[in-house]
A and B are shown apart, each in its own frame.
Chain A
Amino acid sequence: MRIHFKTSYEHDIRLFPDWWSFLVYGVLVAIAVVLPWLMDDFFLGEVTNVLIWAIAGLGLMMLTGQTGQASLGHAAFLALGCYSCIIFMEQGWPFLIAFPAAGILTGVVGTIIAIPAIRLHGIYLAIATIALSILADDIIVLMEPITNGVSGKFAPVITIFGIEIERWTTPDRFYWLVLAITILCTLAYRNILRSPLGRAFAAVRDSEVSASAMGVHIARTKAAAFGISCAITGLAGALMGFYAGAFNNETFSIVISITLLMMIVIGGLGSIHGAFFGAVVVAFLPQFLSMSKDFVGGGSVAIPGLETGVFGMILILFILFEPMGIYGRWMKIRIWFELFPFARKDMFKRQKSYLKTERLR
């Protein structure tokens, strides 16, 4: 087991606790960078898909995992990010301006929507945000002059400093673009977590009463969480638009919202790793299912609802047996090896929690 002897405050603050983890993540990023030379275009596309889902997962994780506010409306923000980015580009804005602008716009809209929503808690908030998802669909159809309604839109070619990036013709460039955005989003996420705002998020999640007694403005903190979450989700939405190439009102349906929430639960709520693990499951499950169908010899047989069924079953199993998600399991396995042979079976038993002050609101 690695023990960190902390000799300065810097040890607590810096991104990586020690050289070893710096090395591990460094190697991981290096492998990610050279991936286009190691993989064929099909699998590279799949990995790109995983990364885009991971960004969207990070967005929702900020809200649900860090601040404890469940949202089933994030497909609406994916849609907003996607449509606004592509509409900005159709106005002649370069990608490097249109893309961040789409994120900021989605964040601002998310904050405005949050103002009424933050009065709601738990299941009521989830229901209210479902309405968002459903509304987004209709709004896209109604705003046909801008959104092209049911017939949808096509993503233009991205040009950065004269370099053309397109999902199908240059999948490696598109992959690198997505990878860079993923790394930037992850870094921003980490920075927020290690600064006062991130701790305020955790405080709001665990006990609103004592958070406000410590000087945390509950409504403002929740609005900030919504804003950041929606901004990151908006960026992911724009990338999803480019990845799909064409999209309409049905691309970002309520099913996407639910998938996104399930994804972070399966991955592990409240951790960056969880967003990535969850994204791997979500993005690879359809491929895995069709491959295993080929394997058992039922390749041409269509089974309606197979994907959602399997997905739902995985979710139920996780909630029953591993509420901490894949990341929780990963940590347990790691600790088991690090402590070997001293790990005990009951080490991860959850303690009974003590009585909480009755909620004052």
Chain B
Amino acid sequence: MSTLLEINNATLKFGGVVAVNDLTFSVDEGEVYAIVGPNGAGKSTVFNLISRFYDPYAGSLTFDGHNLLERNADSVADLGIARTFQNIELFDHATVLQNLLVGRHRHRSTNLMQEMLFTPKVRREEKRHREAVEEVIDFLDLQPYRDKMIAGLPYGVRKVVELGRALASGPRLLLLDEPASGLSVEETQDMRWWIDDIRKQMGITVLMVEHDMGLVSGVSDRVLALADGAKLAEGTPQQVQSDPAVIEAYLGAGAA
């Protein structure tokens, strides 16, 4: 397996606070890689580094041979990196279908003039986008909500729509920020199957942040434990869960 995402000695400081401290890890093509850690460990910050919302203080980020630091937040998506957000960031005043179609934005090949006149090419492209989106809708069972406004949808559905929007972009690497937070037991189970299928059927590499250890040990090949922005342990879910340093970070010294 080849390495898809490589993060070397990444450090990020907000003023005096070190959010990510000299972090090095790599994600292989085709695996599910999970990041765990107590609140404030810097998990989402790592995601925001990869999405280029933050500039690292030091270190390098490489995706499939491309230096991510040379890119803007929007051109990261062009490489095939899609993400979801911890607190759902959907386009509330648009329908589910429109949200998923925004996921296809990186495949836009028409310009303003053509779109204003709605030339046959735009029409053809629209159909192509809709075909791709419809596959995602099928995959995630979103048919009943296709034309519903996001603003009226329940939390669990929004979570799935956000996953769908990321999938619609046809990514190579999927960043899932707490895919199971706020979901019921059944919904978490669904999420687990979906993540499995995303990896096995679609061949998409998944990097996720998650607190639900059941989900993490169920789907992920490797787990990285973070505390205070630094690596605590890395390995299979079992190895990480039994690591004394991880237990100490979660439960405090002496609990083990």
**Chain A residues proximal to chain B, CB less than 8 Å:** 9-10, 12-13, 188, 191-192, 194-200, 202-203, 205-207, 209-218, 224, 228, 270, 350-351, 353-357, 360
Contact = CB atoms under 8 A, between A and B. Distances in A.
Contacts of A191: 115-118, 122
A10 B123 CA distance: 9
A213 B91 contact: no
Contacts of A216: 74, 102, 105
Interface stretch (B29-37, B126-134, B247-255): B126-134
Contact of B93 (A10, A192, A270): A270
Contacts of B125: 196
24 contacts: A9-B130, A12-B130, A192-B116, A196-B104, A196-B108, A200-B102, A202-B93, A203-B102, A205-B91, A209-B53, A210-B85, A211-B91, A213-B82, A214-B77, A214-B102, A214-B105, A218-B74, A228-B112, A270-B93, A351-B151, A353-B92, A357-B85, A357-B87, A360-B54
B90 A192 contact: no
Residue from B54, B89, B92 with most neighbouring chain A CB atoms (10 Å):
B89
Contacts, number: 135
Interface of B: 48, 51, 53-54, 72-78, 82-83, 85-94, 97-98, 101-106, 108, 110, 112, 115-118, 122-123, 125-127, 129-131, 151-152, 155, 158, 165, 169
B126 A212 contact: no
A270 B149 CA distance: 14
A351 B157 CA distance: 15
A350 B74 contact: no
A95 to B, nearest CB: 21
Contacts of B93: 202, 205-206, 270
A210 B74 contact: no
B40 to A, nearest CB: 14
A354 B117 CA distance: 38
B237 to A, nearest CB: 27
A13 B121 CA distance: 13
Given A9-B127, A191-B117, A199-B101, A214 B85 contact: no
Given A197-B115, A213-B82, A214-B165, A206 B94 contact: yes
B89 A215 contact: no
Contacts of B129: 196
A89 B95 CA distance: 45
B224 to A, nearest CB: 22
A210 B48 CA distance: 11
Nearest to A356: B87
A228 B82 CA distance: 29
Contact of A188 (B82, B116, B122): B116
B211 to A, nearest CB: 16
Given A196-B104, A215-B77, A215-B105, A355 B116 contact: no
Contacts of A203: 91, 94, 102, 105
A354 B86 contact: no
B94 A212 contact: no
A217 B75 CA distance: 8
A207 B122 CA distance: 25
B91 A207 contact: yes
A206 B91 contact: yes
A194 B74 contact: no
Nearest to A220: B74
A9 B123 CA distance: 10
B98 A212 contact: no
A210 B84 CA distance: 8
A199 B94 contact: yes
Contact of A199 (B82, B105, B131): B105
Residue from B82, B86, B92, B106 with most neighbouring chain A CB atoms (10 Å):
B92
B171 to A, nearest CB: 10
A13 B98 CA distance: 11
Contacts of A205: 91, 93
